[in-house]
Structure 1
Amino acid sequence: MDIQPDKQNLDRTFATTVYYIDFYQRDYKWTDEPVRRLIDDMFYQFDEAYAKHSALEPNGENVNARYPWYYLNTYVTNTVQGRVFVVDGQQRLTTLTLFLVQLYRMATAFDSKTVGWLERKIAGYAGTEYEFWMNHVRHIQVLKALMEGAEPSTVDTSSGVTAINMVQNFVLISSELRQRLTTKHRFETFIYYFLYRLVLINLAVESTHVPMVFEVINDRGVRLKPYEILKGKLLGQIDKLELESGGYNDIWEERVAAVNANREDEIDNFFRYWLKAKFADTRKSGQRFDGDYHREMFKADMNGMLKLDHEPSQVKAFLKGDFSYYASLYAKLWKASLQEEILYPAVYFNSLNELDSQYLLVLSACTVNDPHEAGKIRVVTEQLDRLFTLLQLQGAYDSNEFAARLFEISAELREKPAEAIPAIFDKHLMAEIAERRATEVKQVFSYTLFRPMSIDRLNTRFIRYFFGRIELLLSSGMKLKMKHGLQELVTSRGAKTGFHVEHILSRNDESLAAFDGDEERFEVERNRLGGVLLLKGKDNISSGNELYAHKLKSYANTLYWNETLRSDAYHSKLDFRDFAKAHHLSFSALNKFGPEELEERQRLLFELSALIWSAPTGALS
Structure 2
Amino acid sequence: MSIIPSPQNLEQVFSSTNYFIDFYQRHYKWSKDPVERLLEDIFYKFNQDYDKICEKDNSVNAETIAARVSSYFLNTYVTNTIGTDVYLVDGQQRFTTLTLLFIQLYQLAIKFNSELQEWIKARVYGVSGPNKNFWVHHTKHVKTLEALLNNINFSDIESNGVTGSNMVNNSKIIKSYIEREITNLHKFDAFIYYLLRKIEILRLEVSQQDVPMVFEVINDRGVRLKPHEILKGKLLGQIDKDELELLKLNDIWETQIVKVGVGNDDDSDEIDKFFSSYIRSKVVDTRSALEKYTEKNYHKALFENESNLYFKLHRNPAEIKKFIQNDFIYFTNLYCKIRDLKDIFQEEYQHLYFNFLNDLSNIYILILSSIKHNDSKEDDKIKEVSYHLDRIFCLLQLQKADSNNLLTNLIYKISSEIRDSEVDLISIVFDKYLIDSLKTAKNTEVTEVFNYNYFKDVGYSDLNTRFSRYFLARIEYFLTKNAVAEMQNNFNNLVRNNGYANGHHIEHILSYNEENLLMFENEEIFERERNRLGGLLLLRGNSNQSSGNEKYVDKLKTYAQSLYWNATLNSDTYHSNLDLKNFKSRFDLDILPMSKFGPEELEARHRLLSKMILIIWS
| Same topology, TM > 0.5 | yes
1:48 aligns with 2:32: no
Counterpart CA distance in 2 for 1:344 and 1:330 is 15
Shift in CA distance, 315/52, structure 1 to aligned 2, threshold 3 Å: same
Q: Tell me if structure 2 keeps the 8 A contact 1:511–1:594.
A: yes
Corresponding residue for residue 162 of structure 1: 163
Shift in CA distance, 163/319, structure 1 to aligned 2, threshold 3 Å: same
5+ residue gaps, structure 2, are none
Corresponding residue for residue 519 of structure 1: 523
Superposition map of 1:27-46 within 5 A: 27-46=27-46
Instruction: Identify the match of residue 436 of structure 1 among 435, 441, 446.
Output: 441
Counterpart CA distance in 2 for 1:215 and 1:523 is 61
Counterpart CA distance in 1 for 2:437 and 2:113 is 81
Counterpart CA distance in 1 for 2:186 and 2:496 is 63
Corresponding residue for residue 192 of structure 1: 193
Deviates more, 1:46-55 or 1:572-581: 572-581
Q: Tell me if structure 2 keeps the 8 A contact 1:102–1:170.
A: yes
Deviates more, 1:376-385 or 1:197-206: 197-206
How far residue 508 of structure 1 moved from its aligned partner, in angstroms, is 0.7
How far residue 247 of structure 1 moved from its aligned partner, in angstroms, is 2.0
Counterpart CA distance in 2 for 1:127 and 1:538 is 79
Shift in CA distance, 376/301, structure 1 to aligned 2, threshold 3 Å: closer
Shift in CA distance, 533/305, structure 1 to aligned 2, threshold 3 Å: closer
Corresponding residue for residue 567 of structure 1: 571
Counterpart CA distance in 1 for 2:610 and 2:343 is 28
Q: Tell me if structure 2 keeps the 8 A contact 1:343–1:374.
A: no
Counterpart CA distance in 2 for 1:456 and 1:316 is 55
For the residue of structure 2 that corresponds to 1:535, the secondary structure is strand
Shift in CA distance, 305/473, structure 1 to aligned 2, threshold 3 Å: closer
Shift in CA distance, 472/108, structure 1 to aligned 2, threshold 3 Å: farther
Counterpart CA distance in 1 for 2:585 and 2:15 is 85
1:371 aligns with 2:373: no
How far residue 302 of structure 1 moved from its aligned partner, in angstroms, is 4.3
Q: Tell me if structure 2 keeps the 8 A contact 1:17–1:126.
A: no
Report the AA paired with residue 474 of structure 1: L
1:81 aligns with 2:86: no
What's the CA shift string for 1:134-159, capped at 9, x where partnerless? 222333343233323233334334x3
What's the CA shift string for 1:494-536, capped at 9, x where partnerless? 35653222212211112212224x1011100111112122223
Corresponding residue for residue 65 of structure 2: 62
Counterpart CA distance in 1 for 2:152 and 2:542 is 56
For the residue of structure 1 that corresponds to 2:392, the secondary structure is helix
TM-score (norm. length: structure 2): 0.92
How far residue 61 of structure 1 moved from its aligned partner, in angstroms, is 4.0
Corresponding residue for residue 407 of structure 1: 412
For the residue of structure 2 that corresponds to 1:124, the secondary structure is strand
Counterpart CA distance in 1 for 2:187 and 2:580 is 85
Q: Tell me if structure 1 keeps the 8 A contact 2:65–2:190.
A: no
Q: CA RMSD in A?
A: 2.4
Corresponding residue for residue 545 of structure 1: 549
Deviates more, 1:49-58 or 1:38-47: 49-58
For the residue of structure 2 that corresponds to 1:545, the secondary structure is coil
For the residue of structure 2 that corresponds to 1:218, the secondary structure is helix
Aligned residues with identical type, % of pairs: 46
Corresponding residue for residue 7 of structure 1: 7
Report the AA paired with residue 32 of structure 1: K
Displacement over 6 Å in runs of 4+: none
Deviates more, 1:338-347 or 1:383-392: 338-347
Counterpart CA distance in 2 for 1:112 and 1:571 is 95
Deviates more, 1:68-77 or 1:95-104: 95-104
Q: Tell me if structure 2 keeps the 8 A contact 1:395–1:437.
A: no
How far residue 216 of structure 1 moved from its aligned partner, in angstroms, is 1.7
Counterpart CA distance in 2 for 1:505 and 1:189 is 86
Shift in CA distance, 12/343, structure 1 to aligned 2, threshold 3 Å: farther
Counterpart CA distance in 1 for 2:485 and 2:75 is 66
How far residue 365 of structure 1 moved from its aligned partner, in angstroms, is 1.0
What's the CA shift string for 1:35-85, capped at 9, x where partnerless? 22222222221211221234245543431x211222221111112232221
Superposition map of 1:338-417 within 5 A: 338-417=343-422
For the residue of structure 2 that corresponds to 1:344, the secondary structure is helix
Q: Tell me if structure 2 keeps the 8 A contact 1:336–1:347.
A: yes
Corresponding residue for residue 244 of structure 1: 245
Deviates more, 1:422-431 or 1:130-139: 130-139
Instruction: Identify the match of residue 277 of structure 1 among 277, 281, 300.
Output: 281
What's the CA shift string for 1:170-221, capped at 9, x where partnerless? 2222222222222233233222222222222121222111112112212322
Shift in CA distance, 175/564, structure 1 to aligned 2, threshold 3 Å: farther
How many residues are treated as equivalent by the alignment? 611
Shift in CA distance, 564/233, structure 1 to aligned 2, threshold 3 Å: same
Deviates more, 1:75-84 or 1:109-118: 109-118
Q: Tell me if structure 1 keeps the 8 A contact 2:105–2:120.
A: yes
Report the AA paired with residue 197 of structure 2: Y
1:597 aligns with 2:601: yes
Counterpart CA distance in 2 for 1:526 and 1:140 is 73
Shift in CA distance, 553/38, structure 1 to aligned 2, threshold 3 Å: same
Counterpart CA distance in 2 for 1:140 and 1:460 is 58
Q: Tell me if structure 1 keeps the 8 A contact 2:283–2:306.
A: no
Deviates more, 1:199-208 or 1:533-542: 533-542
Shift in CA distance, 95/563, structure 1 to aligned 2, threshold 3 Å: farther
For the residue of structure 2 that corresponds to 1:202, the secondary structure is strand
Superposition map of 1:54-453 within 5 A: 54=54, 55-56=58-59, 59-63=62-66, 65-126=67-128, 128-157=130-159, 159-260=160-261, 264-290=268-294, 292-300=297-305, 302-453=307-458
Shift in CA distance, 359/300, structure 1 to aligned 2, threshold 3 Å: closer
Q: Tell me if structure 1 keeps the 8 A contact 2:3–2:206.
A: yes
For the residue of structure 1 that corresponds to 2:7, the secondary structure is strand
Deviates more, 1:37-46 or 1:349-358: 37-46
TM-score (norm. length: structure 1): 0.92
How far residue 428 of structure 1 moved from its aligned partner, in angstroms, is 1.3
For the residue of structure 2 that corresponds to 1:319, the secondary structure is helix
What's the CA shift string for 1:8-54, capped at 9, x where partnerless? 22222222322221111153222222222222222221211221234
For the residue of structure 1 that corresponds to 2:25, the secondary structure is coil
For the residue of structure 2 that corresponds to 1:454, the secondary structure is coil
How far residue 385 of structure 1 moved from its aligned partner, in angstroms, is 0.8
Counterpart CA distance in 2 for 1:57 and 1:557 is 92
How far residue 224 of structure 1 moved from its aligned partner, in angstroms, is 3.2
Report the AA paired with residue 277 of structure 2: Y
